[in-house]
Every structure is written in C-alpha cells, then in structure tokens.
Amino acid sequence: MAKIPVNIDGKSLEVESGKTILEVCKANDIEILTMCHLEGLGDIGACRLCLVEIEGINKLLPACTTKVAPNQVIKTKTEKLKKYQKITTELFFAERNHVCAVCVVNGNCELQDLGYKVGMTRVRFPYLFPKCEVDTSHPWYVMDHNRCILCTRCVRVCGEVEGSYNWGVMKRGVAARIISDFNTPWGESITCTSCSKCVNACPTGAIWPKAVVQGQFKKNPKMITELVEKRKMHL
C-alpha cells in the first residue's frame, strides 16, 4: 500500500492510503471516541462520536467511514468536537431509561465509560422516560429496550458475521426499535441461532444472558473482532 502524508492534531504522519481516518488514528495512538463502531463489522457513521474536522471541508465527517486523503489536515480534539461528544452522550442517556445501579453491565459498560470519558456529570436535557419493552422470551437471553442505544451492532453482527439476519430495525426517529424477525418475540424467532454474538457486540446492558445479576456481566466484543480476523485467515 502506498503511503500518503496527513496531519492529525498537528502531528505530521505518513499513513497507508485507503484506510479510514479511524484506522489511521488507532494505528498512531490517537484516541477517537466511538460507539456504533466495532472492529470487524461494517461501519455506518451513526453515533457521530467520531466526528472530526477536516480543513477545507465545511462539514464534520465521521472518522469511521471517511478515508484519508493526501495532505489532509485533520483535527480530532477541538473544543467544538468535545462539546458535541458531550451533547451526544447526554442525549444517549436522556433517550431511554439507563439506570446504571440496577444494570447487569454496571462497571463494564461502554456507554458508562463514555460518560466518564467526556466528563459528563449530569444530563442537562429532560429525560424522555419512554415505555420500553423487556423481551425475556428467549430461553437464554434478554433484550431490554430500556438500555438500547440503537447502535445496531447487534443487527450488523447477526447479518454480517452470523449470517442469520434475526435482528432488524422498525419504525423511525425516537420510536425506532430493534426487532427480532418481523417483530416477533425473540424466543419465537425462526432465524436466531442463539449464537450469543449480539450479546457480546452490544455495548450496553440491552442484551444480556439470563443467569447474571446486576454488575456481574462482562461482555467480550473483542471476540467478534477476533472471529472476523480468524475467518479472513481461513479464507
């Protein structure tokens, strides 16, 4: 791969062309906040945490889907970006019912980590407190929509890696919901293989195994990344 010069946060770098800004930043120890991104899954640029400023482009672009171009001057930590990351995080918390104290992944949650990282001390926006379903119909797992942030990592891992396309999205806007098959209870799904990939891909306590209590469950999203890598090697 040809090398191209870019400048990120004032640092001049020689990076591989064809890579995304996120990949380049990772390779060079520049931290980019992410949520809908999971190494190994297709990127969708939806959470907007990884937005960066690029000189000469009047829009903020997501690092996960934007490829580096020669002589790009990229900024990842401006005051504006930090402010927006904080608002995005606050909106995540305000949207559904995230009560850490009673959550199975309390202490091991990507959303909780994000809150600490952006220095969120409270949510300034009014909580929406939507009425959300908890689907316990699956024999082993629970889908708790109260804790879902619609990152669609479950949807993508199920389709792209497991290939069973159990998960999907229905409705739109704040009414959007992750659904199993055509909105049937998860336990009645005819496509789910109970492979647990979505459980590990999910960044919050929205999908979890039944036999755990609060604060006791640690997810392993790396498993997905490794699995995808291994499959590539196998091919």
Partner 1 sequence: MNRQELRTIADQAKTKQAQYKHKVCVCCGAGCISSGSQAVLEKLQEEIKTRGMENEIEVVPSGCMGPCNQGPLVKIQPDQTIYQRVTCENIAQVVQSQLIEKRPIEELLLFADSRPKPFVNAMEDPFYKKQLKIVLENCGDINPEVIEDYIVCDGYKALDKALFQMSPEEVIAEIKQSRLRGRGGAGFPTGIKWETVHKYVADQKYVICNGDEGDPGAFMDRSVLEGNPHRVLEGMAIAGYAVGASKGYAYIRGEYPLAIKRFELAIKQARKLGILGVNILGSPFSFDVEVRIGAGAFVCGEETALVASIEGKRGTPRPRPPFPAESGLWNKPTLINNVETLASIAPIINRGGQWYGEIGTPKSAGTKVLALAGKIKYSGLIEVPMGMTLREIVFDIGGGVPDGKEFKAAQTGGPSGGCIPKEHLDVKVDYESLVSLGSIMGSGGLIIMDETSNMVDVARFFMEFCMDESCGKCVPCRVGTKMLYDLLCKVCNGQGTRKDLDMLEELAIYVKEASLCGLGMSAPNPLVSTLRYFKSEYEQQITKNAAVQGGTHG
Nearer to partner 1, 138 or 147 (CB): 147
Interface with partner 1, residue 97, by CB under 8 A: no
**Cα–Cα distance measured from residue 110 to residue 141, given in angstroms and rounded to the nearest whole number:** 19
Pick the binder of partner 1 from 48, 75, 77, 82 (CB under 8 A): 48
Nearer to partner 1, 59 or 234 (CB): 59
Interface with partner 1, residue 124, by CB under 8 A: yes
Which residue from 209, 188, 190, 187 is spatially nearest to 198, judged by alpha carbons? 209
Sequence-distant (6+) residues with CB within 8 A of 212 are 104
Pick the binder of partner 1 from 7, 9, 39, 65 (CB under 8 A): 65
Interface with partner 1, residue 84, by CB under 8 A: yes
Pick the binder of partner 1 from 95, 120, 136, 181 (CB under 8 A): 95
| Sheet strands (E) in the chain | 3-8, 11-16, 51-54, 61-62, 73-75, 134-135, 141-144, 167-170, 177-180, 207-209
Which residue from 76, 34, 86 is spatially nearest to 52, judged by alpha carbons? 76
Site residues, partner 1 (CB under 8 A):
44-48, 51, 59-62, 65-67, 80, 83-84, 87-88, 91-92, 94-95, 124-126, 128, 149-150, 168-169, 171-176
